[in-house]
Amino acid sequence: MSMSPCRALRCSAVVAAFLTLALSGSPAAAQVPDGADFHDAHFHLTNYVQEGTDIRDLVDMMGGTIGRSTVFGLPLQQMWSYRNTGDFAPVYYLQTDAPLYYYSFTDAHIAMAYRSLTAEQQVRVDPMITGFNPADMYAADHIRRVLLTFPGVFSGIGEFTVHKEFVSAKVAGEVASLTNPALDRILDLAAEAGLVVILHNDINMPFPKPDQEPYMLAQMKGLFARHPDTTIIWAHLGVGRIVRPLANQAAIVEKICTDPALAHVYMDISWDEVAKYVTATPEATRRTADIINRYPDRFLFGTDVVAPRAVDAMVAVYDAYAPLWALLTPEASFKVRKGNYERLFDAARVRVRAWEKANADAPRAVPEWSPSSGKGTQE
């Protein structure tokens, strides 16, 4: 029987991949440019209407400047409500009062985009699962299903959001909460499967009254402490466009770095809005640098750029931090820009691949928790 052209092609691809491996040793070492300025721990390929950058263009843009990058879309889709905005098609959540809803197809979209890359290009990106509703007890089951449908692709979950200024209140359905057991199920699965978690949770509400209790801080520390085996990156140090750093922000960040119960919690300094706070005054930059220099293993740089057309968008965020880079020790600077990314995401790749293998033939997961009314019997 002669080999079909399709099989012959696949065979030669396997040989080519093998040769690449044999000639270069570790594929990661060979394909990630040594001289890259940074790895991007926080990057959105698509926007709030699920459109964005072709992943192959992204890898081209990264060139020799960005070594590796996380890749995620946005879990939320902005609805175009004709009743609300007529012919105006909103592409951002602040452009309309219509609700946002969870768009699970983003995970299939990201997975297929990743699969369109060559093996050499794939080495440079870490796709993340985001298309789940963190208020849904079934969210963890969605994540499990995505991993088993697209094995070999994902390194983590997120960026997903619990409290975010102007966003959380717009999401259709039940509002997300740090105290919801649905979130505990998600973080339990992340620990089990080795997924890195990127969580956006503002440290406070926008425009708080002067003596208003920042209740989210206590809830967040409680959540982190309940999941000591989950690798969690707290996005943007908890600040936002309007949500300002708390007066004792430096002390809060330092407490996370020194509390042994929170040793699994990392922080990213992504978003140009965060760079504005950090570089607002020489004192603010100095305070931030001091903490990072003392705990260099706990911070990651990311851009939080959404659907860029050129690498300039990411480089602009990196450059905005120039005053901070200047104050970091060489060791801390390397770890924040690249070292911590490599440590966390390399570990995740190994662990998630092993989990996928171990669970590939496992019977369909049945949630441990179930309503007392009986489960799974109705057709």
* Residue 63: how many other CB atoms lie within 10 Å: 10
Nearer to Zn ion, 51 or 331 (CB): 51
Cα separation, 164 vs 51, whole angstroms: 21
CB of 159 to Zn ion, least distance (A): 5
Assigned token pair, 67: 């070594």
What are the helix (H) ranges across 32-180? 55-62, 82-85, 105-115, 119-122, 139-149
The least CB distance from residue 246 to Zn ion, in Å, is 21
Closer CB to Zn ion, 306 or 327, in the complex: 306
Cβ nearer to Zn ion, comparing 74 with 187: 74
Distance (Å, whole) CA 335 – CA 345: 13
Nearest distance from C-beta of residue 69 to Zn ion, angstroms: 13
Which is closer to Zn ion, CB of 202 or CB of 304?
A: 304
Least distance to Zn ion, CB of residue 372, Å: 38
Axis crossing angle, helix 340-359 with helix 139-149, rounded to the nearest 10 = 80
Of 17 and 306, which CB lies nearer to Zn ion in the complex structure?
A: 306
- Minimum Å distance from CB 268 to Zn ion? 9
User: Cβ 274 to Zn ion, closest distance in Å?
Assistant: 11
The CB-of-236 to Zn ion minimum distance in angstroms stands at: 8
Of 214 and 240, CB closest to Zn ion: 240
Tokens (6 digits) for 102: 């969870």
Angle at 151 between CA 264 and CA 200, to 5 degrees: 35
For residue 76, the one-letter residue type is L
For the bound state, the minimum distance from the C-beta of residue 48 to Zn ion, rounded and expressed in Å, comes to 11
Q: Retrieve residue 100's tokens.
A: 């946002």
Interface ranges with Zn ion (CB under 5 A): 159, 304
* CB of 273 closer than 8 Å to CB of 42: no
Beta-carbon contacts of 319 under 8 Å, excluding residues fewer than 6 positions away, are: none
- Separation in Å, CA 330 to CA 296, 324, 335: 10, 12, 9
By beta-carbon proximity to Zn ion, the closer residue of 76 and 311 is: 76
Q: How far is the CB of 230 from Zn ion (least distance, A)?
A: 19
Round the CA-based radius of gyration of the chain to a whole number and report it: 21
Q: Which residue is nearest to Zn ion (CB)?
A: 304
**Strands 38-40, 100-102: pairing kind:** unpaired
How crowded is residue 194: how many other Cβ atoms within 10 Å of its Cβ?
A: 21
Nearest to 302 by CA among 195, 120, 159: 159
Encoding tokens for residue 167?
């966003």
